[in-house]
Amino acid sequence: MISVLAQERLLGAALGSALTAVVVFENRRNIYKTISENNAKFDNHSQVKRPIFETKSFEVAHLWNKAVHKTFGTVIASLSSRGW
């Protein structure tokens, strides 16, 4: 059996965690709402917005593939030769 003191501590920890989660959620919601409102105020419809990493994504993927191939190329070749 868990003692009454341990039960009170567990209940306090659970309630504290729940309260903290609610406060964090509300703060984040307010921040995102404020950002959204500010973007709507200053949004210039004459400019077309592009994603920041639109042109870089393929380049990053290519560099990643080259790095993986260079790092693990010999291991992959050795496993392939053994029929794995």
Q: Average pLDDT per run of 10 along the chain, which is 84 residues long?
A: 85 94 93 87 63 66 86 85 79
- What is the rounded distance in angstroms from the CA atom of residue 66 to the CA atom of residue 72? 10
Taking the whole predicted model, whether its pTM rises above 0.85 is answered as no
- What is the rounded distance in angstroms from the CA atom of residue 77 to the CA atom of residue 60? 24
Half-sphere exposure of 38 (CA within 13 A, CB side): 6
- Residue 61 sits at φ, ψ, to 5 deg, of -65, -40
pLDDT at 19: 94
Q: Which two tokens stand for residue 84?
A: 């794995």
**How would DSSP label each residue in 52-65?**
TTTTHHHHHHHHHH
